[in-house]
Amino acid sequence: MKAHTEYLWMNTAKRREYVNITDECARILKQSGIREGMMLVSAMHITAAIWVNDNEPGIIQDADDMLERLAPFNPSYRHHLTGEDNGDAHLKNLLTHHQVIIPITAGQLDLGPWQTVFYCEFDGRRRKRVVIKVMGE
């Protein structure tokens, strides 16, 4: 069994941003030399998520609208008593989930035809990490 670990540093220009990291995942897979196994892609911060969906700008905007509707930016969260203003980002993270597993088959990311891996930033404009770990043979 082999394991290969890399960390991506993210630093988005906007507070909320959805960044396609599929090519980075493919590059790391190649680096690992692993042909059968699983790749974990996991945000290491608690105000960002990983989402697999279609790379279609309308869907990204629809998802952002829904997350803002269900977990709105709002200064009245209890978390804000600590001096922070990002309570909504923690809740958007909960709804989206902070990680995915990509199956690795025959040396490829075994994704469906429209599956794209997105880093979802909910409280950006600062440096944050994603851990990518491939395990297999």
Looking at 11-19, 24-32, 39-47, which segment touches a second copy (CB under 8 A)? 39-47
Judged by CB under 8 A, does residue 18 bind a second copy? no
Looking at 10-18, 19-27, 47-55, which segment touches a second copy (CB under 8 A)? 47-55
Judged by CB under 8 A, does residue 83 bind a second copy? no
- Total residues interacting with a second copy, rule: CB under 8 A: 57
For residue 13, the minimal CB distance to a second copy (Å) is 21
Judged by CB under 8 A, does residue 82 bind a second copy? yes
Q: Is residue 90 a contact partner of residue 57, using CB atoms and an 8 Å limit?
A: no
Q: What are the helix (H) ranges across 6-56?
A: 22-32
- The one-letter amino acid code at 74 reads N
Q: Which residues contact 112 (CB under 8 A, 6 or more apart)?
A: none
With tokens 């909910």, the residue in question is 122
Quote the DSSP letter at residue 64: H
Over the window 94 to 133, marking each residue x when it contacts a second copy by CB under 8 A and - when it does not, the resulting string is: xxxxxxxx-x-x----xxx-xx-------------x-x-x
Interface with a second copy (CB under 8 A), residue from 19, 26, 46, 109: 46
The CA distances from residue 40 to 5, 37, 47, 69, in Å, are: 9, 10, 18, 29
Cα(87)–Cα(76) distance, integer angstroms: 9
Q: Is residue 23 a contact partner of residue 127, using CB atoms and an 8 Å limit?
A: no
Residues in touch with a second copy (CB under 8 A): 1, 3, 5, 36-38, 40, 42-46, 51-54, 56-59, 61-63, 66, 70-71, 77-82, 87, 90-91, 93-101, 103, 105, 110-112, 114-115, 129, 131, 133, 135-137
